[in-house]
Every structure is written in C-alpha cells, then in structure tokens.
Structure 1
Amino acid sequence: MATIKDVAKEAGVSVATVSRVMNNSSHASASTKQLVKNAMKKLGYRPNANARALVSQSTNTIGVLIGDVSDPFYGSMVKAIDSIAIQHGKHLLIGNGYHNAEFEREVIELLINSRCESLVVHSKALSDEELIRFAQEKPSMVLINRYIAEIGERCIALDNYRGSYAAVEHLIKMGHRRIGYVCSNHEIEDTIQRKNGYLAALKAHGIKHQPAFIECSMPTEIGGEEAMTNLLSKNLDLTAVATYNDYMAAGTLSVLDENGYSVPDDISLIGFDDGIIAKYLSPKLTTMRYPIQMMAEKAVHLALKLACGASVNDEVRIYVPTMVRRMSVKPRQ
C-alpha cells in the first residue's frame, strides 16, 4: 500500500508539499498540485481520513444511531437526515442499536472514535445517566425520540402520551366504550407513554379500565396478529381497537378479516405513526401521524449548529402527533 512518502518521491516533491496539496493549501501552485494528484492516482494512494481529521479538525461526517435500518420508520429518519447532510456537504456514518444497550453503546463509541462532527442518536436501551455522559463528552450530540431533562436543550422528542390519548378519545367521541388496546412488549418509554395515554383517555371519559382489554406482543405485524387473536379468544365484545403502531394495526386487521369481522362496520381500528403501510391497507388506516421526517431534519440542524457553537435557544423540542382520518373508524351504531 502506497504511503505519503511514496507519493512525494513519485511527484518529486517533499512530504510537506504533498500534505499541503491534500489540504487544498493556497501555498501550492497549480502545477505542483497536478503533479501530486497524478502521483496519487498512479500509486492508488488514498489519504488517511483520521489523519486528515487530526489536522483539519473535521471529518465532514454526521454519526447516526438508529434502531434497525430495515425498518421503514428508520429509513424515513435517515433519509431526512441525509437530505440536510448533503446540503451541508456532509456524509453519514450509520449504526444499528436494535434497542439493545450493548449495541447502542458500541455504536455511539464507534461514532465518537471515528471523529464524527455531530451525532444524531435514537437510543431506547441506554440509561439517562449514560446518555448524559455521552452528551457531555460530545457537545454536538442530539437525541431524537427521547427526552432527558438534564440535556433537554439537545432533545427532539414526540409526545407519545398525548398522541395515544387523542387516538382513544377519538374512538370514544365516535361512541365506542369497549375499546381494546394492542400494545408493544418492548420495555421502552414509548410503550409506557402510549399505554398511559390509552388509560388516561378512558378515565377522563368515565370508562372503567379492564385489564383483559389489553394484549401485548412484538411491535410488528406478527405481534399485532398474536395480540388480536388473544383479544378475540376472550370473547370481549369489543367495538374498537387502538394499536401501538401501524404495523400492529396491520396484523390486527388481518386477524379480524380472517375471523369474519368487518372494519370499521363491526370493529373500528386506529393506528399510530402514519407509516407508509397505513394508506395501503384496506380499509385505509386512521392513525396518528408521527412527524419523524420533520423531527429528523430538526435534530440534524440542531446537531450542526451545536458543532459550530451557534445559538439554539429558539428551537422546537417536543412534537405532537396529529390525526389522519381515513376509513377504519366509524361511529358506533
């Protein structure tokens, strides 16, 4: 593998001159730059990115921690971040955390050690204390879909509680009182907040909570199928079901259809997230829109501002889900 010394010898210049050319120094003439570039091309030399970063104090990279790149939710998030990164001449370095503390920790440490200028971190498994320590080490680290009061100025979060409350209240206002809830079994704050929103809406409208009306499973289509199958097995005479997310709603819809229930004529169904799947189900799914693209853009803008020491006092921090009314909910007859 060619070294910078090999390039200098091939071009007939000093190592210092090669270094100046690689760093676009104005002290190198056009002819010298061309000599060095020709030598680099001939030898197949690639500059060491970490070494250059030590000199320039910049890698032009934004580190991103996500849950799972195969999930369309994170695909939308990364796409939004990348669109802003491109505008600023930056590239992304992405790692999967899989909602696992060990994986999330390894990815964040890798991103920091790789000298990423800014970090956008979607962490659900690490403790508040550990994320605070990382934030102290990396002043341009921003959390997305997580709020920690001690570093609240660097958090972009969603009001999951308020969104779930609104979804269930919508069902109640449509005349439904026997409302089931298909819940995630992931032990993360989103699960707790959305379940609490469901419970709070029932209480606010004088509807007694019945534990049998809640079933938990994986936050996937398969999990939705399992949870709804369990609810139907109890013969609860439900008139509506709220779900943790649109994937679970899709699984719920499948089970209802297989068992002869028409949505929304027999049972109304509402989702959460407004993922791409929601408008392609039959019937099209009424759901709560999670503005992940807007939040991701805000998070990366904030991270870039923090990296250059700009003021961020006027930034929006907490986003609220909004309802998307489609065809899966109707008034109770």
Structure 2
Amino acid sequence: MATIKDVAREAGVSVATVSRVINQSPKAGKSSIEAVTKAMKKLGYRPNATARALVSQSSNTVGVLVGDVSDPFFGTMVKAVDNVARQNGKHILIGHGYHNAQDERQALELLINNRCDALVVHAKGLSDEELCSYAQEVKGLVLINRHIEQIADRCISLDNFKGAYLATEFLIRHGHRHIACISSNHDIEDADARIQGYRAALLAHDIHLPETYIARGTPDSEGGEAAMTELLTKSVTMTGLVTYNDNMAAGVISVAQENGIPVPDKLSIVGFDDGLIARYLSPRLTTIRYPIEMMAEHAATLALQLAKDAPQPAGATMRFTPTVVRRDSVTRVG
C-alpha cells in the first residue's frame, strides 16, 4: 500500500507539500497540486481520514449517539440528523448506547476520538454530571430527549409528562374511568415522566386507581404483549389503556385480539410517538405525536452552529410540545 512518502517521491516534492495538497492548503501551488494528484492516482493512494482530521481539526462528520438504530424511532432521528449533515457537506457516524451507561460512554469516546465536528447525543444511562463534563469538552455537543438544567441551552427535549397527561385525558373525555397504563421497564426519565403524567390526569378528574393498573415491559411489541398479559392475569378491569410507545401498543392489540377483546369496542388504546406503525395497525392507532424528526433536525443544526461558534438564533425552541393524533383505536363509553 502506497504511503505519503511514496507519493512525495513519485511527484518529486516534499512530504510537507503532499500534506498541503491533501488538506487543500492555500499555500499549495498549482504545479504541486497537479503533480501530487497525478502521483496519488498512479499509486492508488488514499489519504488517511484520521490523519487529515488531525491536521485540519475537522473530520467533516457529525456523530450521533442513539439507543438502538434498529428501533424505528431512532431510525427517524438518525435520518433527520443525516439530512442536516449532508446539507452542510458532512456525513454521520453512529454509536449505540442501548440505554446503558458503559455502552454510551464507550460510544461517545469513540465519536470524540474520531474528531466529529458536532455531536447529537441521545443518552439515558449516563449521569447529568458526566454529560455536563462531555459538553465542556466538546463545544458542538447537543443532547436530545433530555433536559439538564446546567446545560439547558444545549438540550432539545419533549414534555413527556404532558404527553402522557394528554393521552390519559383523551380517554377520560371519552368517558373512560378504568384506565390502565403500560410503561417501559427501563429506568429512564421518560418512563417516570409519563407515569407521572398518567397519574396526574387521573387525579385531576378525581379518579383513583390502584398500582395494579400499571404494568411494565421492554419498550417494544414483545414488552407490550407481556405487560398486557400481566394486566389480564391480574384481572384488571379496564376500558382504556395508555402505552409507553406505539410498538408496545401493537403488542397490546395483538394480545387483546387473541383473548377476544375487540379494540376499540371493549378496550380503547392510546399510543405514544406517532411512528409509522401507528397508521398501519388495525384499528389505526390514536397516539401522541413525538416530533422526533423536527427535534433531531434542530439538534443537528444547533450542534453545528455551536461547533463553529456561531450565535444561536434568539427564541429557538428547546422544549417541544406533544399533540394528540386522533385515529380509530378510541371509542366513547357510558
């Protein structure tokens, strides 16, 4: 494999000159550019991306840390960041954290060591203190779906409490009073905030239900199936149900149908996220819209602005508001 020294020898110039040509330095003369380019083509030399980054202090990449890109939620997030990156002449590197502190830490270190120009970080396992430390180290780091007061101007988040409140209240306004809640079993603030929102909506309408009305599972269709099975096994009387996300709602609908419980005639369901699956379930799923695409685009734009010390626009939205998307999985009772 050809080296930079081989290119310099073939072109009849110094290694420093080759380096200037590779890094598009204005000090590189036209004749040097032509000679080096010709030599690189002849030898099949490809500049090392890491070496170029060390010289230019830029890798032309945007780092993205997600929970698991196989989840459609994170797939949408990554696609939105990639769109912004490409508009700015950059590409993305993706790290997976799986909501685990050690995995998130390793992925972040890898992205930082690859000298990403900016970082969009979805992290649930790392502590506030550690994320603040990373933010001090990387000026172009922006958190998404998390709010830390010390770095609030670099946090793009959603009001999860309000989202669950809206979901529960939507059922209450349709006459439901026996409303169960299926949540994620991950120890993250999203799950806590949504359970709090569910409870607050019940309390606001003078509805008091025991803890048996709350079940938890992995935030996917299998977890929804398991949590729904748990509620049925405990003989919980319910006419309405709010779920942590649309994938869990899909699992709930499957178990309900298997047990002869028609949706929405006997059980009304509200999901969360408004992912693609919500439009293709039967019945089509009423859900809470999580504007992750808009949030990710905003986070990527902000990260790139911070990376080049550009001023942030006044009045920029940092905390987004969820909304109800009405479809066919909720009916009125009473």
Following the alignment from structure 2 to structure 1, what is the Cα–Cα distance between the partners of residues 133 and 44? 41
Following the alignment from structure 1 to structure 2, what is the Cα–Cα distance between the partners of residues 132 and 253? 41
- The aligned counterpart of 1:284 is 284
- The aligned counterpart of 2:324 is 323
Tell me the amino acid that sits aligned with residue 44 of structure 2: G
Following the alignment from structure 1 to structure 2, what is the Cα–Cα distance between the partners of residues 34 and 6? 16
- Aligned partner of residue 276 in structure 2, secondary structure: coil
Tell me the amino acid that sits aligned with residue 40 of structure 1: M
Following the alignment from structure 1 to structure 2, what is the Cα–Cα distance between the partners of residues 127 and 32? 51
- The aligned counterpart of 1:62 is 62
Give the deviation of 1:217 after TM superposition: 1.1
Give the deviation of 1:31 after TM superposition: 4.2
Asked if 1:3 corresponds to 2:8, the answer is no
Following the alignment from structure 2 to structure 1, what is the Cα–Cα distance between the partners of residues 26 and 137? 34
Asked if 1:129 corresponds to 2:115, the answer is no
Following the alignment from structure 1 to structure 2, what is the Cα–Cα distance between the partners of residues 135 and 27? 35
C-alpha contact (below 8 Å) 1:203/1:209 kept by paired residues: no
Any idea what the Cα deviations from partners look like across 1:184-238, whole Å, max 9, x if unmatched? 1111001100111100000000000311111111111111111111111222321
Following the alignment from structure 1 to structure 2, what is the Cα–Cα distance between the partners of residues 233 and 129? 41
Identity among equivalent pairs (%): 60
- The aligned counterpart of 1:301 is 301
Q: 1:53 to 1:72 in 2, by over 3 A?
A: same
Any idea what the Cα deviations from partners look like across 1:255-290, whole Å, max 9, x if unmatched? 110111111111101100011110000000000000
1:112-191 correspondence to structure 2 within 5 Å:
112-191=112-191
Q: Which runs of 5+ in 2 are unaligned?
A: none
- Aligned partner of residue 215 in structure 1, secondary structure: strand
C-alpha contact (below 8 Å) 1:145/1:158 kept by paired residues: yes
Give the TM-score, by structure 1 length: 0.97
Q: 1:231 to 1:152 in 2, by over 3 A?
A: same
The alignment yields a C-alpha RMSD, in angstroms, of 1.2
Following the alignment from structure 1 to structure 2, what is the Cα–Cα distance between the partners of residues 98 and 236? 32
Following the alignment from structure 1 to structure 2, what is the Cα–Cα distance between the partners of residues 309 and 174? 50
- The aligned counterpart of 2:94 is 94
- Aligned partner of residue 119 in structure 2, secondary structure: strand
How many residues matched? 333
Give the deviation of 1:141 after TM superposition: 0.5
Following the alignment from structure 2 to structure 1, what is the Cα–Cα distance between the partners of residues 228 and 178? 14
Tell me the amino acid that sits aligned with residue 62 of structure 2: I
Give the TM-score, by structure 2 length: 0.97
Asked if 1:197 corresponds to 2:207, the answer is no
- The aligned counterpart of 2:249 is 249
- Aligned partner of residue 77 in structure 1, secondary structure: helix
Following the alignment from structure 1 to structure 2, what is the Cα–Cα distance between the partners of residues 26 and 95? 35
C-alpha contact (below 8 Å) 1:180/1:240 kept by paired residues: yes
Following the alignment from structure 1 to structure 2, what is the Cα–Cα distance between the partners of residues 243 and 131? 29
1:95-110 correspondence to structure 2 within 5 Å:
95-110=95-110
Following the alignment from structure 1 to structure 2, what is the Cα–Cα distance between the partners of residues 26 and 152? 40
Tell me the amino acid that sits aligned with residue 20 of structure 1: R
Tell me the amino acid that sits aligned with residue 136 of structure 1: Q
Following the alignment from structure 1 to structure 2, what is the Cα–Cα distance between the partners of residues 26 and 6? 23
- The aligned counterpart of 1:213 is 213
1:32-71 correspondence to structure 2 within 5 Å:
32-71=32-71
Any idea what the Cα deviations from partners look like across 1:279-327, whole Å, max 9, x if unmatched? 0000000000000000000000100110111112432110111111000
Following the alignment from structure 1 to structure 2, what is the Cα–Cα distance between the partners of residues 314 and 302? 13
Any idea what the Cα deviations from partners look like across 1:17-54, whole Å, max 9, x if unmatched? 21222122344444432321121122222222222223
Give the deviation of 1:159 after TM superposition: 0.5
C-alpha contact (below 8 Å) 1:274/1:287 kept by paired residues: yes
Runs of 4+ in 1 over 6 A off after TM superposition: none
Q: 1:317 to 1:7 in 2, by over 3 A?
A: same
Following the alignment from structure 2 to structure 1, what is the Cα–Cα distance between the partners of residues 35 and 131? 48
Q: Compare 14-23 and 107-116 and name the one that shifted more.
A: 14-23
